[in-house]
Chains A and B, each alone.
Chain A
Amino acid sequence: MNQPPKPNSFRSGPDEEGRFGIFGGRFVAETLMPLILDLQDEWARAKNDPAFKAELENLGAHYIGRPSPLYFAERLTAELGGAKIYFKREELNHTGSHKINNCIGQILLAKRMGKTRIIAETGAGQHGVASATVAARFGLPCVVYMGATDVERQAPNVFRMKLLGAEVKPVTAGNGTLKDAMNEALRDWVTNVDSTYYLIGTAAGPHPYPEMVRDFQAVIGEEAKQQILEAEGRLPDLVVAAVGGGSNAIGIFHSFLDDEGVRIVGVEAGGKGLDGDEHCASLTAGSPGVLHGNRTYLLQDGDGQIKEGHSISAGLDYPGIGPEHAWLNDIGRVEYVPIMDHEALEAFQTLTRLEGIIPALEPSHALAEVIKRAPKMGKDEIILMNLSGRGDKDIFTVGKILGMGQ
Chain B
Amino acid sequence: MTARMEQRFADVAAEGRPVLVTYFMGGDPDFDTSLAIMKALRQAGADIIELGVPFSDPMADGPAIQLAGQRALKAGQSLAKTLELARLFRAEDQRTPIVLMGYYNPIYIYGVERFLADAIEAGVDGLIVVDLPPEMDDELCIPALEKGISFIRLATPTTDDRRLPKVLENTSGFVYYVSMTGITGSALPDPSLIAGAVARIKAHTPLPVCVGFGVKTADHARAIGASADGVVVGTAIVNQIASSLTEEGQATEATVPGVEALVRGLAAGVRAARLAAAE
Contact = CB atoms under 8 A, between A and B. Distances in A.
A183 B133 contact: no
B136 A304 contact: no
Contacts of A304: 55, 79, 105-110
A27 B57 contact: no
Contacts of B66: 173
Interface string A21-43: 00001111111111100000000
Interface in B103-126: 103-110
Interface stretch (B141-149, B176-184, B192-200, B254-262): B176-184
A17 B105 contact: no
A29 B154 contact: yes
A303 B109 contact: yes
A291 B57 contact: yes
B131 A187 contact: no
B183 A190 contact: yes
B60 A187 contact: yes
B55 A30 contact: no
A27 B55 contact: no
A187 B163 contact: no
A177 to B, nearest CB: 12
B253 interface: no
A216 B107 CA distance: 34
B59 A289 contact: no
A31 B183 CA distance: 10
A34 B135 contact: no
Contacts of B80: 303
A298 B181 CA distance: 28
Interface string B234-249: 0000000000000000
A187 B62 contact: yes
Nearest to B103: A290
A337 interface: no
A187 B57 CA distance: 11
A367 B24 CA distance: 49
A201 B195 CA distance: 40
Contacts of A173: 66
Nearest to A33: B133
Contacts of B158: 30-35, 193-194
A305 interface: yes
Contacts of B19: none
A194 B180 CA distance: 12
A305 B135 contact: no
Given A27-B104, A289-B109, A290-B108, A34 B57 contact: no
A32 B231 CA distance: 23
A225 interface: no
B106 A27 contact: no
Given A34-B159, A305-B55, A191 B181 contact: yes
A290 B61 CA distance: 17
Nearest to A184: B59
Contacts of B156: 30-31
B132 interface: yes
Contacts of A305: 54-56, 73, 106
The size bracket of the interface on A is: 35 or more
B12 interface: no
Contacts of A17: 135
B167 interface: yes
Contacts of A25: 135-136
Contacts of B62: 187
B217 interface: no
Interface in A172-196: 173-174, 179, 183, 186-187, 190-194
Contact of B131 (A28, A191, A194): A28
A360 B110 CA distance: 39
A49 B201 CA distance: 37
A290 B105 contact: yes
A400 B106 CA distance: 39
Contact of A27 (B136, B181, B186): B136
A233 interface: no
B59 to A, nearest CB: 4
Interface string B180-223: 01110010000000000000000000000000000000000000
A29 B133 contact: yes
Nearest to B138: A17
A30 B181 contact: no
A332 interface: no
B104 A290 contact: yes
B131 A190 contact: no
A200 to B, nearest CB: 13
Interface in A282-326: 289-293, 295, 298, 300, 302-306
B153 interface: yes
A27 B55 CA distance: 15
A187 B59 contact: yes
Interface in A1-53: 17, 25-35
Interface string A50-76: 000000000000000000000000000
Given A30-B159, A303-B106, 14 more contacts: A17-B135, A28-B133, A30-B133, A31-B156, A174-B56, A186-B59, A187-B183, A191-B183, A193-B158, A289-B105, A300-B105, A304-B105, A305-B56, A306-B57
User: Sorted from nearest, which 3 A-B pairs have the closest CB atoms?
Assistant: A304-B109, A304-B106, A191-B182
23 contacts: A17-B135, A26-B136, A27-B132, A27-B133, A27-B136, A29-B131, A30-B154, A30-B155, A30-B159, A31-B156, A31-B181, A33-B163, A179-B57, A183-B57, A186-B59, A187-B60, A187-B183, A191-B183, A192-B181, A290-B108, A303-B80, A303-B109, A304-B107
Interface of A: 17, 25-35, 173-174, 179, 183, 186-187, 190-194, 289-293, 295, 298, 300, 302-306
